[in-house]
Amino acid sequence: MNEHIQIERRGAIQSIRMNRPDKKNAITRAMYAAMAEALAAGDGDPDICCHVILGVPGAFSSGNDLADFMTVATGGEGGREVYDFLLALAKSQKPIVSGVDGIAVGIGTTINLHCDLTFATPRTEFRTPFVDLGLVPEAGSSLLAPAVIGRQQAFALLGLGEGFTAERAKEAGLIYAVVSEAELEAAVFEAAERIASKPPEALKIARDFLLGDRAPLIARIEEEGVQFRNRLKSDEARNAFMAFMSRKK
């Protein structure tokens, strides 16, 4: 377990909450590991029918911890935790509902491409500045986003790093619904309860058909990962991380 990841059970629903508000929910290696473990545990537990992924008010996630990126950029060890988490998402056996409020940067956006239903608040902005950071899309987003929102919107999101408001994200098909901040968690849990009330075997078959063959997605996550790790060590990336780290000085 990890101090920044809260796992709770509500009946047949397992919720995973990122809770590192002072860093706008930047995700560390230990947080990825805790989330991967929770997804696997929920998948393996016949009493759990649905996963929920949440952040804190104003911050779903500011993406991967940039200090961890900097460690790799300067020759340190990166670890496989993020890939274990991404593979757990891509292989998930139970539906996933996410609730997003506020900041959703990098993996804070791409997590949602793996979710079956995403609710977001009007003040949410989805943004993936991978290229601006000298990086490349991750989490299978280069495969999922064109399929989910079409190639041109995917290019705007992943190539140009354009921010998508919740309204634009809904129009593009990236998310299921926009709800107020006050209603967000109720809407997420109500949807999760609806999912949990369905006949689980039929729902699993239906969901598996909707997801299709997951092998190409898993292969893409690994391929993107190879490029991503190389890019972390590039001058373009190192300069971008240094600019972020020194911006308040």
Binding site for ligand COA (CB under 6 A): 23-24, 26, 62-67, 103, 105-106, 129-130, 133, 244, 248
Helix (H) or strand (E) holding 127: strand 125-127
C-alpha 148/C-alpha 131 separation (Å) is 20
> Would you say 24 or 94 has its CB closer to ligand COA?
24
Question: In sequence order, which residues have a C-beta less than 8 Å from that of residue 243 and are 6 or more positions away?
Answer: none
Closest CB to ligand COA among 126 and 176? 126
Q: Which is nearer to ligand COA, 42 or 163 (CB)?
A: 163
Q: How far is the CB of 220 from ligand COA (least distance, A)?
A: 17
Residue that the structure tokens 């991404």 belong to:
86
Spatial separation of the C-alpha atoms in residues 72 and 85, rounded to whole Å: 18
Nearest distance, CB of residue 3 and ligand COA, angstroms? 16
How far, rounded to the nearest angstrom, does the alpha carbon of residue 124 sit from its chain's CA centroid? 14
**Alpha-carbon span 141 to 151, nearest angstrom:** 12
Instruction: Give the contacts of 85 (CB within 8 A, at least 6 positions apart).
Output: 32, 33, 35, 36, 39
CA dihedral 42, 48, 49, 54 (to 10 degrees): -60
Q: Indicate the residue among 126 and 130 with the shorter CB distance to ligand COA.
A: 130
- Closest contact distance (angstroms) between CB of 68 and ligand COA is 8
Enter the tokens of residue 28: 């560390």
Residues present in the chain in total: 249
Nearer to ligand COA, 26 or 191 (CB): 26
Task: Determine the residue with CB nearest ligand COA.
Answer: 106
**Minimum gap (Å) between residue 106 Cβ and ligand COA:** 3
Query: Least separation, in Å, of the C-beta of 247 and ligand COA?
Result: 8
For 234, residues 6+ apart whose C-beta sits below 8 A from its C-beta are 134
Nearest distance, CB of residue 123 and ligand COA, angstroms: 12
Closer CB to ligand COA, residue 5 or residue 133?
A: 133
Q: Which C-beta is closer to ligand COA: that of 7 or that of 131?
A: 131
Of residues 140, 154, 124, the one with CA closest to residue 25: 124
Query: Shortest distance, CB of residue 82 to ligand COA, whole angstroms?
Result: 11
Q: For residue 137, what are its two tokens?
A: 């899309």
